[in-house]
Structure 1
Amino acid sequence: MTTSTRSTIVAAEAVTKTFTTPDGRALPVLEDISLRLSEGEIVALLGKSGSGKSTLLRCLAGLIAPSAGTVAYRGTPLTAANPGVAMVFQSFALLPWLTVQQNVELSLQARGVAEGERRERALRAIDLIGLDGFEGAYPKELSGGMRQRVGFARALVVEPDALFMDEPFSALDVLTAENLRTELVGLWEGHEAPVKSILIVTHNIEEAVLLADRILVLSSNPGRIRAELTVDLPRPRDRRTPQFEALVDTVYGILTGRAEATAAASGPAAGRPTATPITVPLPEASVGGLAGLLEILVGRGGEDGLAEIADELNFEVDDLLPLVDAAVLLGFARTANARIEITDSGREFTVADILTSKQLFARTAARNAPLVRAVVQALTATDDRTMRRDFFLDLLRRGFDAADAQRQLDIAIDWGRYGELYDYDAHDTRFTLEPGAEAAL
């Protein structure tokens, strides 16, 4: 049975979500998203930070209402929490004063299920998820993996139409996460899990390819569906097969597609809007991490596959994304078909002495990184070449929430200090332009 002929459980039509900042400004998070979750499929929402994955999940669960568009459960528009959905969270979200069994029974209790039936169904779910023997244990007595099993049992005990999972394995160590993923697939394939569909939010490319029948790749700021891919691979899936690796490379190529951002960062042109700190945010990468990636590329002859680099370093491929984004944004590297190649300027930066590399980085960051450029330009425009942090935070909050605005400014401080473009005094929260920095613009 194809997806198109299966019964639709949850549908979103033209969903847009905009939050309002404390000072009354609009903060767009999702824009014009339409999707369907049908019976018999696992769908992954994949995207970087700022893509609105978790916000979309909460809209589909009826926990928050979209600003525009509709979400429907089996054809009925939602006006409250989705009655056919149960959720598993990254943070476990267990009540520490309740036992395993009591935590699992909570969702049944909220639905008015009688005590005897609650106990029977909770024990069955606990057994299904491999926690039998721990019914009377408290969360503090359990490992992270066991606590997440309680989260799964609590969701499955209500036998929902759809199981929603928000980064459910990201707080676990690698081996525990892999074990839980394998068990989840086993329950799904064996039709033991009392659910008709699964929707998982993740930033992990391999996790999405391992689990999902379909992958929806979201772009960022605001979140839109950039691509939809069908995963036509039998389960259990082997990471080492050419088909698996090819699909990971395809998704990786979509996520690292920075052509528009790079073109915008290189300067205005006819019909192209000028890049701003909002439209082209700084990747969460340190200068040292960026330099390390470029050194690896030089050592590999200047070019290699992103998956191959990650594998040799024992990282997930998506762990490299911020470093790759930073290298591409600054013009030190370019990507194509899930491969990365160092540019002439990137090679020059890598092999230069420390003083020259600082000068090269300063010039490149001031021209290609919009927030760094904005800081230098603002400081240049003042009489005393100083400015308070809050000026930049207020501007950034037009496009980011408070935490992301601060993260963006922290990255800009790191990059600007390395390039000796400006200094930042954390005590009086002031930026100061370094002598001669305006020449880098």
Structure 2
Amino acid sequence: MRFPFPRAARTAPPAAAVFSPADSPDSSDSSGSPGSPGSPGSPADGEILLETVGLTKAYAGADGALPVLSGIDLTVRAGEIVALLGRSGSGKSTLLRCLSGLIPPSSGTVAYRGTPLTGANPGSALVFQTFALLPWLTVRQNVELGLEARGVPPRERAEAAVQAIDLIGLAGFESAYPKELSGGMRQRVGFARALVVEPDVLMMDEPFSALDVLTAENLRGELLELWESGQFPTRAVVLVTHNIEEAVLMADRIVVLGSRPYGTIRETVEVDLDRPRDRDAAAFDELVDRVYRIMTGRPKETRLPGRADGARPDRRTVANTPLPTASVDGLAGLAAMIAHRGGCCDLADLADELGLDIDDMLPQLDALDLLGFAEIHGDDLLLTEAGTAFAGADVQESRTIFAGAAVDVPLVRLITNGLRGRPGTAVHAGFFRDLLAHHYTSEQVDRQLETATDWGRYAGLFGYDAALREYRLDEETP
């Protein structure tokens, strides 16, 4: 399906286009037939549309740049759906924004059809996690925004918007306002707004995560049907997700990002399954389990900033061992569930049974591993002797067991030893914030201290006065 855009309006979009950067040249003006794979406006399957070489992205920190992504080499070809999968903090959304040209890399290059980007990607459109609709505009007016920014005349853009709205299943809602629509319908408007400019690459940043399970499943299915039917007015899709089953269901290739100590490509998985894909098929389950193993396994080597040898650190430090965002109650609950299953469980089965995504589970799994309460072997989680004792202990005994494990966690140990070095004196949280700022962003520092405070208080290692923002060793602290 081709939307009737004037060639001049599509080939010279203004740099200020916000919602959807410009589309590829109009295929009707090429030597091939309209929409034919060999024409400039419709790249042949397999042609490289996007490519990154040595991409690194870093943000300012107390000691200079704090890397978020490092050494990313990635290609996106026409005719494929690529899923960027990783835990929170792995840089998935940052990479997507670099690919779309919304933020520049700190080093390395991002190229669209062989030309390095110096601004917004002229061949991409972005669908956001939130609906990002203007509430005072109708559905049709929201869809027209990108075309209006490019100077497309009112009649042509109205016709194109109606076609896009019909394609995405919203016919009859053209004059409705966002407040009249359900969450699923509002996200459909977001898809129509992106597709109406016929981008070479459609980029989606967790587009289904704000929807309920049934709505998300329905919308995924309809988009895949459009993709398979040839009516999808885009040549490639890049999808950011934290849902392993979603990645296996939709993607032709899954790029798994690791996050320790910063985002790198851990492994790329080819999904050689025919569509439509059967979630109950053995091959589907095997691939899901494989990706789980990649996500939960430890990298073969950990390269710290400033270390050229890439060697794994000899000891755990605050810099190389970030605290997972996991509460003590959550850890105790998960440990009890595993103990109830005999001390061992399959991670994918457990997540499915609990209705959790990978981002919901990985912080707890990492925390149990960090505390020595569990070990991950392949796609199985096994409680250790200490973890079994923790899961079965009463309140007082569990605190004692937890204290013995938490005191060896680098940040908890740093706070505890800092207080022991100043007996009877309170230490302001700013002291520890300054130390952490050498290795983490401000937002990461907040999360690190919040978790460390939760763990240390529960273990009885120290107290914390939230009003004064001070840590102190209590008299009864051992």
Question: TM-score under structure 1 normalisation?
Answer: 0.93
- Residue 297 of structure 1: which of 324, 327, 338 is its match? 338
Structure 1 residues 175-184 or 79-88, which shifts more? 175-184
SS at 1:151 equivalent = helix
Amino acid at match of 2:222: E
SS at 1:325 equivalent = helix
Name the counterpart of 1:60. 99
1:53-92 to structure 2, matched below 5 A, reads: 53-92=92-131
The question of 1:239 aligning with 2:294 is answered no
Deviation at 1:196, TM superposition (A): 0.2
The question of 1:180 aligning with 2:180 is answered no
Amino acid at match of 2:398: S
Contact residue 261 and residue 275 of structure 1 kept, 8 A: no
Amino acid at match of 1:282: L
Amino acid at match of 1:241: A
SS at 1:90 equivalent = coil
Separation in structure 2 between the aligned mates of residue 391 and residue 75 of structure 1, nearest angstrom? 48
Separation in structure 2 between the aligned mates of residue 32 and residue 249 of structure 1, nearest angstrom? 27
- Residue 229 of structure 1: which of 269, 277, 280 is its match? 269
Name the counterpart of 2:451. 411
1:91-102 to structure 2, matched below 5 A, reads: 91-102=130-141
Q: Which sections of structure 1, spanning at least 5 residues, go unmatched? A: 265-269
Name the counterpart of 1:315. 356
Higher Rg of the two aligned structures: 2
Contact residue 26 and residue 398 of structure 1 kept, 8 A: no
Between the aligned residues of both structures, percent identity stands at: 56
Structure 1 residues 320-329 or 66-75, which shifts more? 320-329
Contact residue 28 and residue 399 of structure 1 kept, 8 A: no
Separation in structure 2 between the aligned mates of residue 233 and residue 183 of structure 1, nearest angstrom? 18
Name the counterpart of 2:9. none
Q: What is the Cα-based RMSD across aligned positions, in Å? A: 2.2
Deviation at 1:434, TM superposition (A): 3.5
Contact residue 301 and residue 312 of structure 2 kept, 8 A: no
Deviation at 1:194, TM superposition (A): 0.2
Query: Which aligned segments of 4 or more residues in structure 1 are displaced greater than 6 angstroms?
Result: 259-262
Separation in structure 2 between the aligned mates of residue 139 and residue 396 of structure 1, nearest angstrom? 43
Contact residue 217 and residue 227 of structure 1 kept, 8 A: yes
Name the counterpart of 1:217. 256
Which is helix-richer, 1 or 2? 1
Amino acid at match of 1:298: A
Name the counterpart of 1:375. 415
CA-to-partner distance for each residue in 1:262-287, whole Å, 9 max, x for gaps? Answer: 9x9xxxxx973432233221112111
Deviation at 1:142, TM superposition (A): 1.4
The question of 1:133 aligning with 2:172 is answered yes
Name the counterpart of 1:345. 386
CA-to-partner distance for each residue in 1:68-124, whole Å, 9 max, x for gaps? Answer: 100000000111100000000001111111111111000111122121110011000
Contact residue 371 and residue 405 of structure 2 kept, 8 A: yes
- Residue 374 of structure 2: which of 329, 333, 345 is its match? 333
Question: TM-score under structure 2 normalisation?
Answer: 0.86
Deviation at 1:435, TM superposition (A): 4.3
Separation in structure 2 between the aligned mates of residue 102 and residue 109 of structure 1, nearest angstrom? 9
Amino acid at match of 2:224: V
The question of 1:46 aligning with 2:113 is answered no
Separation in structure 1 between the aligned mates of residue 300 and residue 387 of structure 2, nearest angstrom? 20
- Equivalenced residues, count: 429
The question of 1:27 aligning with 2:66 is answered yes
- Residue 290 of structure 2: which of 238, 244, 250 is its match? 250
Amino acid at match of 2:317: T
Separation in structure 2 between the aligned mates of residue 317 and residue 160 of structure 1, nearest angstrom? 30
- Residue 76 of structure 2: which of 19, 37, 44 is its match? 37
